[in-house]
Amino acid sequence: MLNVDLHSHSTISDGVLAPEALAQRAHEHRVQLWALTDHDEISGLARAQQAATELGMQFIPGVEISVTWLDKTVHIVGLNIDYEQAELIDSLAYVRRGRTDRALKIAERLDSLGVPEAYEGAAAYATNPQLISRTHFGRFMVEQGYCASMKEAFERFLGDHGPAFVPMQWATLQEAVEWITSAGGKAVIAHPGRYRFTRQQFELLFERFKEYGGIGIEVVTGSHSVSDYQVYAQVAQRYGFEASCGSDFHWAQEGRMDLGKVPPLPRQLTPIWHDWPLS
Ligand code: AMP
Ligand code: MN
Ligand code: MN
Ligand code: MN
């Protein structure tokens, strides 16, 4: 059984390990097919690829694009992309453009909620100044003792219904799928079990995604419960989606699944890597 992990984050977005250290951890955990999928950023991929190659590990260049669909945030993973494609590089810069303003607004709200200097605080946790995410705010608030855990930081402040939430207009679903596809990659719906859509909205999401050229769906991920695996295995079969799997690893102290500890995909599914030339 191939050890596959096709969803992970480095310091280039909101992970805690640098691309090289992440490659090292993947290798230590016996990953055989690994993808780095930073949020809206591909500038870590060359480093990750180099490190993976030196370790004799097969590497898939990836990205996780933030999308706004029906006024909610959806994440679309792109796998096996050409990360030197100028159009993709420019498009992702366009998706990232509002993050600094948003971070300043989040900090203003936190200030009024009794958490001062959160912009500087969050920025200190971000390696990439263009990519301050809610995760960085969460880490700052946990380490400063405002919250006991990331979970609490999102529940009380940063989550989509929290008082410090600042809505964003990310890419459209069609844009994200098309950028990935024109860069030679496969578009995959990330952690569908996390979205709060109605049944009809989910059906529309899957139909539109497929129409635009989307190929896959994450079935086994650190964001899913075991019962979600069954639900999205059925969705994959019903819509003819290929199946992907990944830990969504950010840091060992955060999240349920460690890098390289991804349970196998249900057997009846077509894995997203079925037509990649693996050695
Ligand atoms: P952003 O792209 O700035 O909106 O931040 C989204 C990131 O926040 C996600 O990629 C997760 O890493 C993190 N996140 C979202 N919801 C939660 C949660 N409930 N608990 C912990 N981390 C979360
Ligand atoms: Mn994240
Ligand atoms: Mn995500
Ligand atoms: Mn992710």
Q: Do residues 121 and 140 lie in contact, with contact meaning Cβ atoms separated by under 8 Å?
A: yes
Which residue type does 110 have? L
Q: What is the number of the ligand 1 atom nearest to the C-alpha of 99?
A: 3
Cα of 200 to ligand 2 centre, how many Å?
27
DSSP notation for 164-208 = T------B-HHHHHHHHHHTT-EEEE--GGG----HHHHHHHHHH
Token pair of 179 as six digits: 């950028």
Q: What is the number of the ligand 1 atom nearest to the C-alpha of 151?
A: 20
**Quick one: pLDDT at residue 279?**
84
Distances (CA, A) of 84 to 25, 43, 67, 161, 188: 25, 9, 22, 37, 20
Cα of 189 to ligand 4 centre, how many Å?
11
Q: Do residues 4 and 30 lie in contact, with contact meaning Cβ atoms separated by under 8 Å?
A: no
Q: In whole angstroms, give the CA distance from residue 123 to residue 247.
A: 25
| Exposure string for 100-139, b = 16+ CB within 10 A, e = fewer | eebbebbbebbeeeebeebbebbbebbebebbbbbbbbbb
Cα of 151 to ligand 1 centre, how many Å?
9
**Quick one: pLDDT at residue 256?**
87
Q: What is the number of the ligand 1 atom nearest to the C-alpha of 73?
A: 4
As beta bridge partners, residue 79 has: 62, 186
Residue ID of nearest Cα to ligand 1 atom 9: 135
Cα of 143 to ligand 1 centre, how many Å?
17
Q: Do residues 74 and 39 lie in contact, with contact meaning Cβ atoms separated by under 8 Å?
A: no
**Quick one: pLDDT at residue 11?**
98
Token pair of 244 as six digits: 């992907």
Token pair of 53 as six digits: 């190659």
**pLDDT tens-place values along the chain, 279 residues long:** 999 999 999 999 999 999 999 999 999 999 999 999 999 999 999 999 999 999 999 999 999 999 999 999 999 999 999 999 999 999 999 999 999 999 999 999 999 999 999 999 999 999 999 899 999 999 999 999 999 999 999 999 999 999 999 999 999 999 999 999 999 999 999 999 999 999 999 999 999 999 999 999 999 999 999 999 999 999 999 999 999 999 999 999 998 899 999 999 999 999 999 999 998
Q: In whole angstroms, give the CA distance from residue 231 to residue 177.
A: 23
Q: In whole angstroms, give the CA distance from residue 50 to residue 73.
A: 32
The pTM of the full predicted model, rounded to 2 decimals, is 0.98
Q: What is the number of the ligand 1 atom nearest to the C-alpha of 134?
A: 3
**Residues with a CB atom less than 6 Å from ligand 1:** 14, 39, 66, 133-135, 150-151, 154, 159, 250
DSSP notation for 7-69 = -B--TTTT-SS-HHHHHHHHHHTT-SEEEE--BT--TTHHHHHHHHHHTT-EEEEEEEEEEEE
